[in-house]
């Protein structure tokens, strides 16, 4: 007869993850750049992942603005993926011009960098995949230039295009944090003049258009200040 009083104290699931980089172009995007000598800083992948975690936690608390920003960033991820895919197809066409008698192997770094990953949001993982795609694209572009299939200008243009779309994606993620405080103040100001309806419309729009990886909302007795009227999202997965 089964022991009904038996309790299984299971812990959380964990998986060790790492990313292997082969090019300096991608390592610079991974690190970003700290501000110095009057130059603004450039956010790297780690900063992007951290912000995605904060937005995810906000969405779990039914914050409609976190939902809205997650939608914007998901759209930007799709645009970035399309640009990198178009560049990949162009490079594949260039490499197809290699004579059949010549065999070109993978262009790999003899001493690649293996970096540990600590990602707690699906949008963060999507950015990791894009960075890995750009690393693969950069290796193929460098190989095409080394084998005289493209010139230096073409190499730099394609490399810069890929780096630009990734940095643009990472930079977009900084805007939610910069605007969050101002947005909440504006919500409080709008309430006195019936502006709460605007907040409700924004929240309702977010509820109808959740991003693909919207988390399950935590059902709490009260919402944070400035978010009154945010809808409760039903759990979309176990």
Higher-confidence position of 187 and 27: 27
User: Does residue 214 lie within any of the structural domains?
Assistant: no
Tally of domains within the chain: 1
What is the model's pTM? 0.75
User: Does residue 34 lie within any of the structural domains?
Assistant: yes
Range of the domain at 78: 18-208
User: Does residue 93 lie within any of the structural domains?
Assistant: yes
User: Does residue 6 lie within any of the structural domains?
Assistant: no
Q: pLDDT category, 33, cuts 50, 70, 90?
A: confident
User: Does residue 215 lie within any of the structural domains?
Assistant: no
User: Does residue 1 lie within any of the structural domains?
Assistant: no
User: Does residue 134 lie within any of the structural domains?
Assistant: yes
Q: pLDDT category, 237, cuts 50, 70, 90?
A: very low
The burial class, CB within 10 Å (0-12 / 13-18 / 19+), for 64 is: buried
Q: pLDDT category, 4, cuts 50, 70, 90?
A: low
| Helix (H), strand (E) counts: the chain | 7, 2
131, 125 in Cβ contact below 8 A?
A: no
Structure tokens at 132: 């890995």
pLDDT tens digit string along 57-98? 888 888 888 888 899 999 999 999 999 999 999 999 999 999
> In the prediction, which pLDDT does 109 show?
93
137, 91 in Cβ contact below 8 A?
A: yes
């Amino acid at each position: 007869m089964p022991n009904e009083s038996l309790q299984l104290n299971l812990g959380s699931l964990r998986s060790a993850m790492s990313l292997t980089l082969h090019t300096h172009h991608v390592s610079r995007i991974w690190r970003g750049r700290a501000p110095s000598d009057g130059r603004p800083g450039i956010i790297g992948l780690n900063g992007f992942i951290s912000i995605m975690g904060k937005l995810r936690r906000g969405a779990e608390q039914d914050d409609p603005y976190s939902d809205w920003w997650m939608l914007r960033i998901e759209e930007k991820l799709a645009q970035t993926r399309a640009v990198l895919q178009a560049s990949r197809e162009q490079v594949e066409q260039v490499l197809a011009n290699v004579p059949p008698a010549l065999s070109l192997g993978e262009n790999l770094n003899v001493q690649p960098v293996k970096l540990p990953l600590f990602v707690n949001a699906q949008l963060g993982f999507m950015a990791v995949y894009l960075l890995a795609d750009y690393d693969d694209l950069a290796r193929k572009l460098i190989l095409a230039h080394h084998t005289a299939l493209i010139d230096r200008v073409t190499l730099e243009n394609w490399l810069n295009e890929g780096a630009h779309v990734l940095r643009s994606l990472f930079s977009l993620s900084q805007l939610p944090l910069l605007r969050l405080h101002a947005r909440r103040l504006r919500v409080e100001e709008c309430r006195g003049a019936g502006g709460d309806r605007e907040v409700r419309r924004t929240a309702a729009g977010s509820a109808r258009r959740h991003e693909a990886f919207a988390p399950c909302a935590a059902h709490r007795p009260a919402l944070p200040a400035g978010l009154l009227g945010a809808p409760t999202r039903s759990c979309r997965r176990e």
